[in-house]
């Protein structure tokens, strides 16, 4: 914990995560996010490359790595038959808390995650949000140097998602390094100081949310069509004028495209009107992470991600 | 409320002194005990089959097989104890497969604990299961008129041997549980493998009337060897050779499969 406090993963992906930072790994399903996390958490062995976590080498000192990390996987790794409290007491004992200390630690965590009322219920009776909170609590029995969160809010309703975000921020404030994966662009934007975008196992970009947006280009033109059936016509016109690929929103009636200067964007709008395509709305500005992702990968982020970005 | 909550959340908690491997294993054993509390129906599964077998064989077949139900019970009871322990091991393999399926072992594997501890804990749970099931069967036997000639000492020795058998056989299903993803498949494969071993043995009948080729198998079937030793211990006639023969399979299984279990567990990447 007092060592270098950084994480470095090399497997076609080079990352340096400074201590105490929330770092997001953003990518669509199948991009390799979970595999990367599992390797860093010693659950999977890399075939090549090397990595250090909190100064410990993954390959030569996995036990030391395990002593300084915690991981919350995509699927709650809890014993469904036991109560929430028993799950935490069990983990506390495995970490070395004895008798009363283990119970006290479990009760502290239950209180911290608003689970005290449900502490005596079997986990199988928990809601998705409660499960996820308990799962994160289970990762904090001993404050880890690095906390790996694999898609911490996938499948949660908006309120539960906000609760989890609040907890993640609180943890980062207390000095825990957090490496999280997400396919929600909004989540990366909201939580992370730095974001690595990965796709097909390769890192395609890294930076702050602002840097990623700036690298993509600033002048993004967004156009909403009154008549969605004219989408293809509109796309053709915009592409001809601006020389850029047009991205279609998941709702179908909105187009966005790197517009260059205001003058060119203006001409493009004029083209649309001249072609008889009615616009319900248009705007120009910084790209959303959605658009960043599209610009980087040439394909839209998953549907879930797009929705989250719009919300 | 919110304020106190976040203060607790932010408090840094350092790791206490690392617990011993034994302590790790005991925690998993405790987990197995909690399972009995929360899922008592598993005990029902566990003892219903042997109880049915005991009643069925004693009262339906007993007279025909051994002259009278009570005489048959005297012969059959030690055998049904062996059968119960072997069958119950299948359930622990299913339990392991379920845990792996749900990702629970991902958490255990990312903890700095003795790698074999979860299995040691499963074994503790198994041993308890065997003791409970064996105890219930023995009680029913005593009620029905079974009398162990070797008395309490013989019964205790027999139960120790039973636990050794359960421990050895348990590794087979640990390995199956690690290899096979679906608990139901573990059960199917387990019972498919076990049925011939249990039935082509001396548990239910004296093999004297079996055809020679079958007897050749029955005589070396580890289940027969275990049953012979158990009968001997409870009847007060056991020889050291019988006990040694009964222990060959459990010891060999442990020596071979415990390292295999560890190897599978460490390299499994689900």
**B29-43: per-residue pLDDT in tens?**
899 889 888 888 877
Overall average pLDDT of the A166-184 stretch: 87
The number of C-beta contacts closer than 8 angstroms across A and B is 120
Q: A74: which chain B residues are within 8 Å (Cβ-Cβ)? A: 103
Q: Which two tokens stand for residue A29?
A: 């399903």
Nearest chain B residue to A39 by CA distance is B269
CB contact under 8 A, B103 and A114: no
Nearest chain B residue to A64 by CA distance is B112
Pairing of strands A177-182, A22-26: parallel
Q: Which of A63, A71, A96 sits opposite B16 (nearest CB)?
A: A96
Quote the pLDDT of residue A299.
Answer: 61
- Break chain B into its structural domains and give their ranges: 21-267
Quote the pLDDT of residue A11.
Answer: 54
The answer to whether A27 and A181 are in contact (CB under 8 A) is yes
Q: B43: which chain A residues are within 8 Å (Cβ-Cβ)? A: none
Overall average pLDDT of the A149-171 stretch: 86
The answer to whether A84 and A118 are in contact (CB under 8 A) is yes
**Best residue in A58, A77, A148 for a mutation probing chain B (most B CBs within 10 Å):** A77
- The terminus-to-terminus CA distance of chain B in angstroms comes to 40
- The terminus-to-terminus CA distance of chain A in angstroms comes to 38
Whether the per-residue pLDDT at A302 is higher than 60: the answer is: no
Q: B105: which chain A residues are within 8 Å (Cβ-Cβ)? A: 77
Quote the pLDDT of residue B155.
Answer: 94
pLDDT band at A246 (very low <50, low <70, confident <90, very high): confident
What CA–CA distance (Å, rounded) separates A27 from A83? 34
Q: A37: which chain B residues are within 8 Å (Cβ-Cβ)? A: none
Give yes or no for B215 touching A (CB within 8 A).
no
The answer to whether A307 and A161 are in contact (CB under 8 A) is no
Quote the pLDDT of residue A2.
Answer: 25
pLDDT band at A251 (very low <50, low <70, confident <90, very high): low
**Best residue in A94, A131, A178 for a mutation probing chain B (most B CBs within 10 Å):** A94
Quote the pLDDT of residue B110.
Answer: 80
Q: Using the 8-state DSSP alphabet, how is residue A232 labeled?
A: H
What CA–CA distance (Å, rounded) separates A101 from A108? 10
Q: Which two tokens stand for residue B184?
A: 């139901």
Quote the pLDDT of residue B9.
Answer: 55
pLDDT above 70 covers what percent of chain A? Answer: 88
Whether the per-residue pLDDT at A260 is higher than 50: the answer is: yes
Q: Which of A73, A81, A138 sits opposite B39 (nearest CB)?
A: A81
CB contact under 8 A, A93 and B27: yes
Q: Which of A79, A143, A174 sits opposite B31 (nearest CB)?
A: A79
**Best residue in B2, B12, B13, B103 for a mutation probing chain A (most A CBs within 10 Å):** B13
What CA–CA distance (Å, rounded) separates A109 from A307? 33
The answer to whether A307 and A154 are in contact (CB under 8 A) is no
Q: B102: which chain A residues are within 8 Å (Cβ-Cβ)? A: 75-77, 80
Distance of residue A304 Cα from the nearest chain B Cα, in angstroms: 24
Quote the pLDDT of residue A274.
Answer: 87
What CA–CA distance (Å, rounded) separates B102 from A153? 18
Q: The CATH number of A215-310 is which of 3.30.70.870, 3.40.50.300, 3.40.50.970, 3.30.43.10?
A: 3.30.70.870
In this structure, the number of other CB atoms found within 10 A of the CB of residue A104 comes to 13
Give me the DSSP letters along A58-80.
TTT-HHHHHHHEEEE-SS--S-T
Q: The CATH number of A7-212 is which of 3.40.50.300, 1.10.220.70, 3.30.420.130, 3.10.129.10?
A: 3.40.50.300
Overall average pLDDT of the A55-67 stretch: 84
Whether the per-residue pLDDT at B183 is higher than 50: the answer is: yes
Q: B9: which chain A residues are within 8 Å (Cβ-Cβ)? A: 112-113, 140, 167, 170-171, 174
Nearest chain A residue to B30 by CA distance is A90
Quote the pLDDT of residue B270.
Answer: 42
Overall average pLDDT of the A41-55 stretch: 80
**Mean pLDDT for chain A?**
80
Quote the pLDDT of residue A310.
Answer: 21
**Best residue in A35, A92, A96 for a mutation probing chain B (most B CBs within 10 Å):** A96
The answer to whether A12 and A32 are in contact (CB under 8 A) is no
CB contact under 8 A, B12 and A122: no
**Best residue in A36, A95, A171 for a mutation probing chain B (most B CBs within 10 Å):** A95
Nearest chain B residue to A135 by CA distance is B107
Give me the DSSP letters along B131-198.
HHHHHHHHHHHHHHT---TTHHHHHHHHHHHHHHHHHHHHHHHHHHHHH-S-HHHHHHHHHHHHHHHH
Whether the per-residue pLDDT at B160 is higher than 90: the answer is: yes
Considering only residues A303 and B24, tell me which one the structure prediction assigns the higher pLDDT: B24
> Which single residue is written with the structure tokens 């200067």?
A261
Lowest mean pLDDT among A169-173, B136-140, B146-150: A169-173
A284: Cβ contacts below 8 Å, ≥ 6 apart:
A219, A220, A221, A222, A259, A262, A265
Helix (H, G, I), strand (E, B) or coil at A114: coil
pLDDT band at A215 (very low <50, low <70, confident <90, very high): confident
Overall average pLDDT of the B150-169 stretch: 93
A50: Cβ contacts below 8 Å, ≥ 6 apart:
A8, A10, A57, A58, A59
The answer to whether B82 and B162 are in contact (CB under 8 A) is yes
pLDDT band at B6 (very low <50, low <70, confident <90, very high): low
- The model's pLDDT over B88-132, given as tens digits with 9 standing for 90+, comes to 888 878 888 888 877 788 888 888 888 888 888 888 888 988 998
Q: Which of A64, A90, A111 sits opposite B8 (nearest CB)?
A: A111
What length does chain A have?
Answer: 311
Chain B, 87 to 116: residues with Cβ < 8 Å from chain A are: 99, 102-113
Overall average pLDDT of the B124-142 stretch: 91
Quote the pLDDT of residue B135.
Answer: 93
Phi, psi (degrees; rounded to nearest 5) at B186: -55, -45
Quote the pLDDT of residue B171.
Answer: 92
Q: Number of C-alpha atoms within 13 angstroms, CB side, residue A263?
A: 0
**Best residue in A81, A124, A174, A177 for a mutation probing chain B (most B CBs within 10 Å):** A81
Q: B14: which chain A residues are within 8 Å (Cβ-Cβ)? A: 142-143
Quote the pLDDT of residue A185.
Answer: 81
Domain with CATH 3.40.50.300 in chain A: 7-212
Query: Is the pTM higher than 0.90?
Result: no
What CA–CA distance (Å, rounded) separates A233 from B82? 78
CB contact under 8 A, A77 and B107: yes
Q: Which of B12, B14, B38 sits opposite A81 (nearest CB)?
A: B38
Q: Which two tokens stand for residue A104?
A: 């006290």
Whether the per-residue pLDDT at A200 is higher than 80: the answer is: no
Q: Which two tokens stand for residue B48?
A: 């219903």
Nearest chain A residue to B268 by CA distance is A44
What CA–CA distance (Å, rounded) separates B151 from B138? 13
Whether the per-residue pLDDT at B252 is higher than 90: the answer is: yes
What length does chain B have?
Answer: 270
Quote the pLDDT of residue A102.
Answer: 93
Give me the DSSP letters along B22-84.
HHHHHHHHHHHHHHHHH-THHHHHHHHHHHHHHHIIIIIIHHHHHSSHHHHHHHHHHHHHHHH
B154: Cβ contacts below 8 Å, ≥ 6 apart:
B148, B233, B234, B235, B236
Lowest mean pLDDT among B41-45, B162-166, B244-248: B41-45
Quote the pLDDT of residue A117.
Answer: 92
The answer to whether A2 and A175 are in contact (CB under 8 A) is no
Quote the pLDDT of residue A252.
Answer: 63
Whether the per-residue pLDDT at A303 is higher than 70: the answer is: no
pLDDT band at B164 (very low <50, low <70, confident <90, very high): very high
CB contact under 8 A, B103 and A76: yes
What CA–CA distance (Å, rounded) separates B138 from A271? 91
Quote the pLDDT of residue A244.
Answer: 76
Residue A197's beta-bridge partner residues?
A26, A205
Quote the pLDDT of residue A218.
Answer: 63
CB contact under 8 A, A174 and B9: yes
Phi, psi (degrees; rounded to nearest 5) at A61: -135, 55
Buried b (16+ CB within 10 A) or exposed e, B171-191: bbbbbbbbbbeebeebbebbe
- The model's pLDDT over B165-180, given as tens digits with 9 standing for 90+, comes to 999 999 999 899 888 8
Please give the C-alpha separations between residue B160 and each of A282, B43, B51, B122, B148, in angstroms, as whole numbers. Answer: 81, 21, 21, 18, 15
Lowest mean pLDDT among A10-19, A89-98, A115-124, B51-60: A10-19
CB contact under 8 A, A138 and B107: yes
Domain with CATH 3.30.70.870 in chain A: 215-310
Burial of A151 from C-beta contacts in 10 A (0-12 / 13-18 / 19+) = buried
Nearest chain A residue to B11 by CA distance is A174
Sign for the pseudo-dihedral over CA of A62, A67, A73, A79: positive
**Mean pLDDT for chain B?**
86
pLDDT above 90 covers what percent of chain A? Answer: 17
């Amino acid at each position: 914990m007092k060592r270098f406090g950084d994480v470095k993963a090399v497997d076609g992906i080079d990352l340096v995560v400074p201590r105490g930072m929330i770092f997001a790994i953003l990518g669509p399903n199948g991009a390799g996010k979970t595999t990367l996390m599992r390797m860093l958490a010693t659950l999977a062995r890399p075939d090549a490359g090397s990595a250090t976590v909190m100064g410990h080498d993954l390959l030569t000192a996995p036990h030391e790595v395990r002593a300084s990390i915690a991981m919350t996987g995509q699927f709650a790794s809890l014993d469904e038959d036991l109560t929430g409290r028993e799950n935490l007491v069990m983990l506390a004992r495995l970490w070395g808390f004895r008798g009363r200390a283990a119970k006290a630690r479990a009760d502290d965590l239950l209180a911290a995650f608003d689970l005290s009322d449900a502490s005596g219920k079997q986990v199988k009776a928990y809601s998705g949000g409660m499960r996820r909170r308990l799962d994160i609590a289970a990762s904090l029995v001993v404050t880890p140097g690095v906390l790996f969160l694999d898609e911490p809010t996938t499948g949660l309703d908006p309120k539960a998602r906000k609760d989890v975000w609040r907890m993640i921020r609180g943890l980062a404030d207390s000095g825990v390094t957090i490496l999280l994966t997400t396919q929600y662009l909004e989540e990366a934007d909201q939580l992370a100081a730095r974001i690595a975008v990965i796709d097909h196992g390769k890192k395609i970009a890294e930076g702050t949310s602002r840097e990623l947006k700036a690298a993509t280009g600033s002048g993004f033109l967004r156009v909403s069509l009154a008549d969605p059936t004219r989408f293809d016509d509109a796309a053709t016109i915009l592409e001809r004028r601006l020389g850029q690929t047009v991205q279609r929103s998941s709702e179908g009636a909105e187009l966005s495209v790197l517009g260059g200067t205001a003058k060119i964007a203006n001409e493009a709008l004029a083209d649309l009107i001249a072609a008889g395509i009615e616009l319900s709305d248009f705007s120009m500005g910084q790209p959303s992470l959605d658009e960043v992702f599209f610009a980087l990968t040439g394909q839209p982020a998953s549907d879930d991600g797009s929705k989250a970005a719009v919300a | 409320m919110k304020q106190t909550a976040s203060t607790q959340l932010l408090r840094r908690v350092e790791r206490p002194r690392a617990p011993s491997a034994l302590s790790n294993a005991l925690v998993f054993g405790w987990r197995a005990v909690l399972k009995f509390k929360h899922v008592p129906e598993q005990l029902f599964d566990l003892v219903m089959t042997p109880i049915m077998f005991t009643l069925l064989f004693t009262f339906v077949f007993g007279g025909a097989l051994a002259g009278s139900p009570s005489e048959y019970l005297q012969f059959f009871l030690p055998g049904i104890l062996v059968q119960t322990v072997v069958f119950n091991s299948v359930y622990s393999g299913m339990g392991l497969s379920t845990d792996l399926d749900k990702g629970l072992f991902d958490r255990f594997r990312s903890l700095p604990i003795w790698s074999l501890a979860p299995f040691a804990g499963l074994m503790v749970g198994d041993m308890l299961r065997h003791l409970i099931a064996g105890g219930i069967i023995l009680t029913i036997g005593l009620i029905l008129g079974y009398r162990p000639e070797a008395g309490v000492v013989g019964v205790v020795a027999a139960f120790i041997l039973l636990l050794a058998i359960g421990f050895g056989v348990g590794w087979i299903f640990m390995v199956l549980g690690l290899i096979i993803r679906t608990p139901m498949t573990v059960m199917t494969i387990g019972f498919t493998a076990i049925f011939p071993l249990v039935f082509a043995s001396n548990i239910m009948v004296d093999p004297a009337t079996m055809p020679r080729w079958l007897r050749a198998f029955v005589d070396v079937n580890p289940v027969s060897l275990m049953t012979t030793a158990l009968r001997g211990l409870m009847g007060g006639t056991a020889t050291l050779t019988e006990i040694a023969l009964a222990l060959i399979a459990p010891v060999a299984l442990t020596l071979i499969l415990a390292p295999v279990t560890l190897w599978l567990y460490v390299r499994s990447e689900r």
